[in-house]
């Protein structure tokens, strides 16, 4: 039997980090996806291949240990941390559906990726949701979208520590979403075009680490950081209003303000700033880091200037145009 599922990556336009403290965020699913294929394996192992990353790994179902294989197919004793990090999401997702703990035969799992890893574009959430959906289908388990998003969030908590359900919700539902812990995801109907360009640095960000650094800062300076999180909430709510009213200029200004607030939380880097200012110089109406920061990506909102911003960012780092995808998980 062979099953396949896929899920989109995401870009956060407003409210990252603040969302971990119950504040709202605005995010879109992007037209870049992770696809997971599960088929019966030839031996007892759970083998995982991620060809785009040159990752070949094995999950030991008895010990739960995840190992990477070298080019000779032997267990590599010193695997790269990013690669094993991804394997941990897959392992945890499989055990959520019982497939990881006691399959009665081996599994051959292939992950095809269009989303760059560690770029703040929700690659781990997309891999998690696609793995959960494929594993549930393989097991004959019926899962609602709500169940899937909840299980995806459990996987992120287990692997990464503190996390909000934002990434896994966007990856499950797709579309243009306003998210709060209290009310979950609400669709936004934009009254404007959203031409977006992503620029990504060569340094991946580590979401778990950055979330814990922000928590430490908040504990050290609660009377300063809490009001900053409150202002982020106001920015996100005003942005929702500007997007639905079709006010391009205000959307851009609010992105720039959000960037300043993220910088004050300590998650910006010199490399990200460079991309952000180059994007603005090339004509972006607004630009900011997207996702956890500390590396990863920026997002630029560029009505009428997509070509110019893309060209400018490509001249210094990696960049691509992203479209918003209304398609969430499919299987």
Q: Does 278 bind ligand MEV (CB under 6 A)?
A: no
Residue pair 275/298 in contact (Cβ under 8 Å)? The answer is yes
State in angstroms the smallest separation of the CB of 67 from ligand MEV: 27
CB 290 within 8 A of CB 16: yes
Element housing 122 (H / E): none
Nearest distance from C-beta of residue 293 to ligand MEV, angstroms: 7
- Of 85 and 291, which has the nearer Cβ to ligand MEV? 291
Name the segment binding ligand MEV (CB under 6 A); options: 34-42, 55-63, 133-141, 160-168.
160-168
Q: Which of 9, 13, 17, 29 binds ligand MEV (CB under 6 A)?
A: 17
Q: Any contact of residue 211 with ligand MEV (CB under 6 A)?
A: yes
Separation between Cα atoms, residue 6 and residue 33, nearest integer Å: 7
Tokens of 109: 């799992």
167 noted as active-site residue = yes
Please state the closest distance from residue 164 (CB atom) to ligand MEV, in A: 3
Are 39 and 107 within 8 A, CB to CB?
Answer: yes
Q: Least distance from C-beta 88 to ligand MEV, angstroms?
A: 16
DSSP state of 331: -
Among the listed residues 166, 289, 309, 324, the single contact to ligand MEV using CB under 6 A: 166
Q: Which of 44, 108, 167, 263 is catalytic?
A: 167
Cα–Cα distance between 329 and 34 in angstroms, integer?
A: 10
Residues near 162 by beta carbon (within 8 Å), at least 6 away in sequence: 20, 208, 211, 212, 215
The answer to whether residue 5 forms part of the interface with ligand MEV (CB under 6 A) is: no
CA dihedral of residues 114, 118, 124, 125 (deg, nearest 10)? -90
Nearest to 319 by CA among 268, 269, 284: 284
- Here's the x/- map for ligand MEV, 115-154, by CB under 6 A: it reads as -----x----------------------------------
Q: CB-wise, 66 or 292, nearer to ligand MEV?
A: 292
163 binds ligand MEV (CB under 6 A): yes
Answer for which of 83, 167, 233, 271 binds ligand MEV (CB under 6 A) is: 167
Our finding on whether 20 is near ligand MEV (CB under 6 A) is yes
- Options 9, 152, 286, 291; binder of ligand MEV; rule CB under 6 A: 291
**Residue 175: partners with Cβ closer than 8 Å, 6 or more residues away:** 28, 29, 187, 324, 325, 326, 328
Number of H helices, E strands in the chain: 9, 13
In the complex with ligand MEV, which residue's Cβ is closer, 38 or 211? 211
**Where in the sequence numbering do the catalytic residues fall?**
167
Q: What is the contact surface with ligand MEV in residues (CB under 6 A)?
A: 12, 16-17, 19-20, 120, 163-164, 166-167, 207, 211, 291-292
């Amino acid at each position: 039997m062979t099953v396949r599922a896929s899920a989109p990556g995401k870009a956060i336009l407003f409210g990252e980090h603040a969302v971990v403290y119950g504040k709202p965020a605005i995010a879109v699913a992007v037209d870049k996806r992770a696809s997971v294929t599960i088929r019966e394996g030839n031996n007892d192992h759970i083998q995982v291949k991620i060809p785009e990353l040159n990752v070949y790994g094995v999950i030991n179902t008895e010990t739960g240990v995840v190992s990477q294989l070298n080019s000779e197919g032997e267990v590599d004793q010193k695997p790269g941390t990013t690669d094993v990090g991804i394997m941990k999401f897959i392992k945890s997702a499989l055990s959520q559906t019982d497939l990881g703990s006691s399959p009665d035969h081996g599994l051959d799992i292939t992950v095809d990726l269009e989303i760059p890893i560690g770029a703040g574009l929700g690659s781990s959430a997309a891999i998690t949701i696609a793995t959960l959906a494929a594993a549930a289908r393989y097991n004959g388990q019926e899962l609602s979208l709500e169940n899937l998003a909840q299980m995806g969030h459990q996987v992120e908590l287990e692997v990464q520590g503190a996390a909000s359900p934002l990434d896994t919700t966007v990856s499950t539902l797709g579309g243009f979403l306003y998210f709060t812990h209290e009310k979950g995801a609400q669709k936004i109907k934009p009254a404007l075009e959203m031409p977006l360009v992503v620029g990504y640095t060569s340094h991946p960000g580590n979401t778990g680490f950055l979330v814990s650094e922000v928590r430490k800062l908040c504990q050290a300076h609660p009377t300063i950081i809490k009001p900053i999180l409150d202002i982020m909430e106001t920015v996100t709510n005003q942005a929702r209003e500007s997007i639905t009213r079709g006010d391009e200029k205000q959307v851009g200004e609010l992105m720039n303000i959000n960037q300043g607030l993220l910088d004050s939380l300590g998650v910006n880097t010199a490399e990200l700033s460079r991309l952000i200012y180059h994007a603005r110089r090339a004509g972006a109406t607004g630009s900011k880091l997207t996702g956890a920061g500390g590396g990863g990506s920026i997002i630029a909102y560029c009505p009428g200037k997509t070509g110019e911003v893309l060209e400018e960012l490509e001249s210094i780092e990696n960049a691509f145009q992203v479209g918003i995808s209304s398609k969430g998980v499919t299987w």
